[in-house]
Copies of this chain bind each other. A is one copy, B any other.
Amino acid sequence: MPRLLIADDHPLFRAALHQAARAALDEGSIGEACDLPATLDALGNEPDTDLVLLDLHMPGSRGLSGLAALRGQFPAVAVMVVSAHDEPQVVRRVLDHGAAGFISKSASPDEIAAAIRTVLDCGEWVPPHLGESVAALPSDPHDSELAARLARLTGQQYRVLGLLAEGLLNKQIADRLAIQERTVKAHVTAIFEKLGVRNRTQASLLLRSLDLVDPARVD
């Protein structure tokens, strides 16, 4: 009885995914989340979730950072990325960051259902029309190493990193997380060590390198 979680900030599209997922499953539960924190919370409450359908553009994540956070904190949960951004380069990066599959937002319900079944069966899914071009693309060593580094961060460290990368002071981060500045500093030091950087600006750049700043600026 598989457990699914649909993470997308667009209610309409969430519903469409829900329907396609229902068609793919004989039984099982399907949860929903509308932003990244809610997604992580939902997974914290349901660690036995089998698969997350993750939109790349949600409040709290402008690109691969959401995927990285999710993979880092719940490595056992498979993630299928859902995005309108179906260029081979994007798919390549998504897979390099640990996603089990990729669905284009223009895919048919049948294709989505097939993708879900494949991934739930521990397979990997790439849209048929992109398979060749994705396979032909080399993995960017920068991405691979970055994924490995980010995977070492703990949940709280991800949150600190996210706020830090917005330019907040340690004190402000402390207020947001309702902890002491002293504790934030401890996390920051740990983050630097794990990411191999020496100050917060560099850490911020590293996280930003996960942005898929679509030239299209679609939002």
Residue positions of A touching B, CB distance < 8 A: 63, 85, 87, 89-90, 93, 140, 142-143, 146, 164-167, 169, 197-202, 204-205, 208-217
Contacts and interface: CB of A to CB of B under 8 A. Distances in A.
A197 to B, nearest CB: 7
Task: Indicate the member of A87, A93, A217 with the most B CB atoms within 10 Å.
Answer: A217
A142 B198 CA distance: 30
Given A166-B205, A167-B199, A201-B201, A214 B211 contact: yes
B216 A143 contact: yes
Contacts of A166: 205
Contacts of A140: 216-217
B216 A213 contact: no
A156 B165 CA distance: 26
Contacts of A167: 197-199, 201-202, 205
A89 B213 CA distance: 11
Contacts of A212: 213-215
Nearest to A86: B215
A85 B214 CA distance: 11
